Structure 1
Amino acid sequence: MVRDAMGFDEYTEAEMKKLKRLMADMRTPLHQSCKAKYSKLFATLTLLQLKATYHWTDRSFDALLHRLEDMLPEGNELPKTTYEAKQIVCPMGLEVKKIDACKNDCILYHDAIQWHVIDSKYASFKDEPRNIRFALSTDGMNPFDNRSSSHSVWPVLLSIYNIPSWLCNRRKYMMMPLLISGPHQPGNDIDVYLRLVVDELKTLWSDGVKVYDGFKRESFKLRAMVLTSITDVLGHRCLSGQSKGEKDCFQCLDDTESLWLNNSKKRVYIRHRRFLSRSHPYRLMKCQFDGTIEKGSAPRHFTGHDVYDQVKDVNVTLGKNKKSALGKRKRKEEEVADKRWKKKSILWELPYWKDLAVRHSIDVMHVTKNVCGSLLGTLLNTKGKSKDHANARADMKDLDIRPELCPEGPSA
């Protein structure tokens, strides 16, 4: 709005011609014997106001314009169609930007902080709006749709984030620079294959490539960067090199609160009420949760520089020795079992990677599927899907939580 209202010095030559035509229409009388009040612009604007007030269709408005043209003297300046009338009133084509909003009208999803961080730190990259910001995604799949087959395929995809959100995941706006195929999943050694992609991304960031803009009919130097990665939990550990253990939350890291369930044989995250506001009533509820009042605050945010300080000295040799692959792999896992990181990810070679607030994101599909599946399975008591089973009740008894739900009888 500010640009269109005051930024005349920013208009192109074509836009300046439109502005001059608008001013000329304001001074042009509707016809030679017309009063000065009804200029071509004012008459058109008045008719469009009537159209909007009484909800006339474009077809009916076109018919009205044709009748008025016959009634007025020859050589009048009245527009012939609705489209022509709109072009007279608003020739400048005010810039329109579509922004997604929450369905509950509580927030606009407008330019994430991560986007602004790159703009503020790397002004030369921001100054060229045609520079591309990618999201890197990867996941394993079985191409033969056969569980008995151990063959694994890991496609690496790049999605363009410069375009509207409803177009980002369209097939024609995605590219697959790498396809990792083999009898086993790459796991921690995925960096060996990502070398090809990372080298090209480093070139796209530093030097750029000369490309042709078909719309403006000019050549320019295109640069690109990876804004974030999007994977499931397994893919995240492969890309980031984070180990599985007590402190394995992707964002909380050292401040992770987890608990091992002896009966269910799994690790779970706890103390989620820390993320609520201090005045939230859930913080004071005891019996509904784990029997305690939550007084802690939300975990601190680990910046990219904080995480880089943890991984910069981690050195792990990638690849497997065929003669003693299992033995070496076991020793390697034992060596890093007490560490937070299995490796220093190859993505840290990207100059901007440590400046990103969120480097790895978990895809919505897996989160939605798992959460929804667990809730429905528990509510419907689906066999093999419900989280309310004998082992879960036994864990609640060990933790002294919700005694009314503890199992009863000899087996308890």
Structure 2
Amino acid sequence: MMIEFIKDILPEGETLLKSHYEAKKVLWDLGLGYESIHACKNDCILFWKEHEKDDMCPKCKESRYKRVNVKGKKIPHKVLRYFPLKPRLQRLFINRKTASEMRWHKEKRTTDPEEKVLRHPIDFEAWQEFDKKHGWFADEPRNVRLGLASDGFKPFGNMSTTYSMKTVILIPYNLLPWKCMKEPFFMMCLFIPGLKSPGNDIDVYLRPLIDELKDLWEDGVETYDASKKENFQLHATLLWTINDFPAYGNLSRWSTKDKMLEPKHLSDDDILTQMEAIKHVEFEKRPNTKKRKVNVNELNWRKKSIFFELSYCRTLKLRCNLDVIHIEKNICENVIGTIMNIEGKIKDTPKARMDLQNMGIRNELWLVPNGDKYMVPPACYTLSTDEKKSLCQWLRDVNFPDGFASNIA
């Protein structure tokens, strides 16, 4: 109705599309569409490839569909949106300027051998060792090196505290350092639905992307380079992932919870040997499912990462990175949420107090029995109402240099 109203007030000759459906058709014709892939409600499988025609999950036996609408159309429980990677990489070379900049790291980058400064991912040892091990890939500067980032978000903001979605984004590192990390070149590949994050079951949803990355490494895709006015075979590789701490655990499969071990450097063969000890790992979130017992030989691994299906993964020097700025932001939010006693953000919970008692420390913070209930003693950081108002006033008024911090207010 709003579009029809706007069309009526626009001058003659306007070309505004009539509906959201027409806008989607234009995007599809430009190669900006996506694939809708149904998923099991318990995150067991994708109804894709060999399971494309199944109406029921072969693992948990749950129906693929939750209901039939008034038009007789079956509505699936979950729909994964997958944005194919190949056409997006090809589009980087359609523009002459961007196509030329995709070779910047090899042809125009200037370095001082004695100055050890990290200005671009190519300065990392991980990039340089990869080039030594895969010379055929490094010989073609247009071959694309990618980083993968994944994080969840609430599409409805604070209006819904339970519904969360997850995105998987790829970043092409061939570009200049002031361009490769800019939003116009970010490529969202997966849009994962769900009331909660898929957690360790994210491997199920990564399957289409991993299959395409395999193909891009082994066979590549024919691409037109507008800057050189020629076709070439484009290949791509995934160098590493960048995540906050929980997502790091889900993607690397090294548990960031429970009992932690003393960290030590492991060779590629050591890691693969440890992962081979992991047996009978199933992807599912059925209620009342017993937690799988962890074998002592598995150390802190929870399963073998799907990224090891990429033949070059074992040769990578640095597979997973921690996003320090993201982690600092989360810690800041948790500290403020705790001292402000914000519901859903506070970390000073009764369970945390019970943990202190179990460890035999900080006895002034232990829960105090009061009849059939327990009292939570105030901590040294507990703020009064006036102190909370003062903190909020400071957060509203504080100013930082441009680019130094986000809008903390």
Class of the TM-score when normalised by the shorter of the 2 chains:
0.5 to 0.7
TM-score by length of 2: 0.52
Distance in 1 (CA, whole Å) between partners of 2:258 and 2:166 is 28
Q: Distance in 2 between matches of 1:114 and 1:211?
A: 27
Q: Offset of 1:212 from its aligned partner?
A: 0.5
User: 1:203 deviation in Å?
Assistant: 0.6
3-state SS of 2:291 partner: helix
Which residue matches 1:308? 272
Cα 1:236–1:316 shift into 2, 3 Å: farther
For 1:52-91, list aligned pairs within 5 A.
none
> Cα 1:157–1:316, aligned 2, differ >3 Å: closer, same or farther?
farther
Deviations 1:317-337 (A, max 9, x none): 43337xxx2322x332x4469
Query: For residue 364 of structure 1, what is the aligned residue in structure 2?
Result: 324
Contact 2:151-2:168 within 8 A present in 1 as well: yes
Whether the aligned pair in 2 keeps the contact of 1:157 and 1:177 (CA below 8 Å) is yes
- Specify the SS of the correspondent of 1:340: coil
The residue aligned with 1:223 is 235
Contact kept, 8 Å, 2:147 with 2:172, in 1: the verdict is: yes
* 3-state SS in 2 of match to 1:146: helix
Q: Could you list the runs of 5+ residues in structure 2 that have no partner in the other structure?
A: 1-106, 369-376, 380-409
Q: Residue 287 of structure 2 aligns to which amino acid in structure 1? A: L
- 1:32-83, CA deviations, whole angstroms, 9 ceiling, x for partnerless residues? xxxxxxxxxxxxxxxxxxxxxxxxxxxxxxxxxxxxxxxxxxxxxxxxxxxx
CA spacing shift, 1:97–1:320, aligned 2, 3 Å: closer
Q: Tell me if structure 1 keeps the 8 A contact 2:278–2:295.
A: no
Q: Deviations over 1:206-238 (max 9, x none)?
A: 111110100000000011011110111111122
Counterparts of 2:185 and 2:173 in 1: how far apart (Å)? 9
| Match for residue 236 of structure 1 among 240, 248, 264 | 248
Equivalence for 2:156: 144
Q: How does 1:155-304 map to 2 (within 5 A)?
A: 155-245=167-257, 248=260, 254-256=261-263, 300-304=264-268
Say if 2:149 and 2:241, in contact at 8 Å, map to a contact too.
yes
**Unaligned 5+ residue runs, structure 1?**
1-94, 249-253, 257-299
Q: Does 1:327 align with 2:288?
A: yes
Q: Show the counterpart of 2:29.
A: none
For the 8 Å contact 1:137–1:229, the answer to whether it is kept is yes
SS of residue paired to 1:133? strand
Which amino acid in 1 is paired with 2:275?
V
Cα displacement (A) at 1:202: 0.5
Percent of pairs identical after alignment? 37
Q: Shift of residue 107 of structure 1?
A: 3.9
Judge conservation of contact 1:213–1:220 (CA < 8 Å) in 2: yes
Residues paired across the two proteins, number? 254
Per residue, is there more helix in 1 or in 2? 1
SS, match of residue 191 in structure 2: strand
- Is the partner of 1:159 in helix, strand or coil? strand
Cα displacement (A) at 1:169: 2.2
Q: Distance in 2 between matches of 1:123 and 1:366?
A: 34
